[in-house]
Amino acid sequence: MKILILNCGSSSVKYQLFDMTNETVLARGLVERIGLSGSVLTHRPAGKDKVVREAEIGDHKVAVRLCLEALTDGEYGVIKDYGEIGAVGHRIVHGGEFCDSVLITRETKAIIGDLVKLAPLHNGPGLLGIEACEGILPSTPQVAVFDTAFHQTMPPYAYTYSLPYDLCRRHHIRRYGFHGTSHKYVALRAAGLAGRPLAELKVITCHLGNGSSITAIKNGKSLDTSMGFTPLAGLTMGTRCGDIDPAIVTFLMEKEGLTPADMDQLMNRRSGVLGVSGVSSDFRDIEDAMAGGNERARLAWDIFVYAVKKYIGAYTAALNGLDVLVFTAGLGENSPAVREAICRDMDYLGIKVDAVKNQVRGQEKDISAAGSRVRIFVIPTNEELMIARETLAVVRAG
């Protein structure tokens, strides 16, 4: 079966077409600047040069149609017609209390729509992508794969906030967690590399990038995760503040005359590594600035590393031990320096990195030192493949 994967943002659509007989990518692409001037589609057929096409792309329906036209084009397409697409899998960031991927129905769409208020930048575009496919591929089954679903196994004591209980129930306030598709994929790969069933392992997965989260996985299930009600919680990130004293919010609003929208922008767009360093939200720029003696860049780096170490320590306690530690996503996969800094002085937990093995970027590798009680892996994440697998399973289940 061939499965199309769509990841719709507010002004973009990423896509990949998989042949699930051997899990190969036939083509991938990106539509950018939807609804803006200078809209462009970049299409990359497997084994061929990329194709760049500029067009007026007013909405997501036009964007999805352009993706499908590229896939079926006589010159650079990879399928003959739309009928070869057996299913469409959508990455949906917020799935509320959905505990698994689901076939998209009228009821599913209504729930995704209701959750737009919790993830307006993500669920709204996701719903537009679903509706675009309904119009163009009306008989093709569609599946929603939720970033939050993997974390629905968290126990109540891990996901409940200490606010008035009835208030939380009324407004669906709880820890949801995100990056679940990535955490699930790399945990499964880690179990394969370790040669043991995931159901027997205690695993901590570190998805480190511009957006970062850490998850504790016990017996194959998410026990706890660092992101919360929204992706703002947890670690210091590229532009997000992560965990702070909540009283700071009302204090700054009063002192600076900020509206709720202003405060939201400050915490999501102007904080984190960018806010502390004043240099950049990109850790490559932070490393360069540190090398030049920039103390604020060094402070931002130290804050991030310290936060990751604290979560690893806390989650090792929650798991009652640790078998496997995984680094993934842009920073986790590509920065030997950040991996070394995080694992430094963690030998009391049995975490020891081999300095030579650690010099790897974007490749799957065991970087554990001799004598390390914990297996340490670098595993490039592949959320699109995970979405394709989930989509195939849902469609086969009917």
Catalytic residues: 147
Nearest-5° angle of CA 249, CA 290, CA 302? 45
Tokens of 245: 């004293």
How far is residue 280 CA from its own chain's centroid?
21
Tell me how far apart the alpha carbons of residues 77 and 84 are, in angstroms, rounded to a whole number.
12
Q: 């017609």: which residue's tokens?
A: 81
Q: What residue type is 165 in one-letter code? A: Y
Tell me how far apart the alpha carbons of residues 134 and 88 are, in angstroms, rounded to a whole number.
10
Tokens of 382: 């592949």
Query: Alpha-carbon Rg of the chain, whole angstroms?
Result: 22
List residues bridging with 41 in a β-sheet: 31, 53
Q: Mapping DSSP to helix (H, G, I), strand (E, B) and coil, where does residue 176 land?
A: coil
Q: Which of 72, 79, 30 is nearest to 50 (CA)?
A: 30
Q: 């209504």: which residue's tokens?
A: 110
Tokens of 168: 């939380």
How far is residue 151 CA from its own chain's centroid?
13
List residues bridging with 387 in a β-sheet: none
Contacts of 395 (CB under 8 A, 6+ apart): 1, 86, 87, 103, 141, 143
Contacts of 17 (CB under 8 A, 6+ apart): 2, 3, 4, 5, 25, 26, 27, 28, 71, 78, 79, 85
Helices marked H in the chain — which ranges?
60-72, 106-114, 123-136, 156-159, 165-171, 180-194, 247-256, 260-269, 272-277, 283-291, 295-319, 329-334, 336-343, 383-396
Tell me how far apart the alpha carbons of residues 248 and 124 are, in angstroms, rounded to a whole number.
30
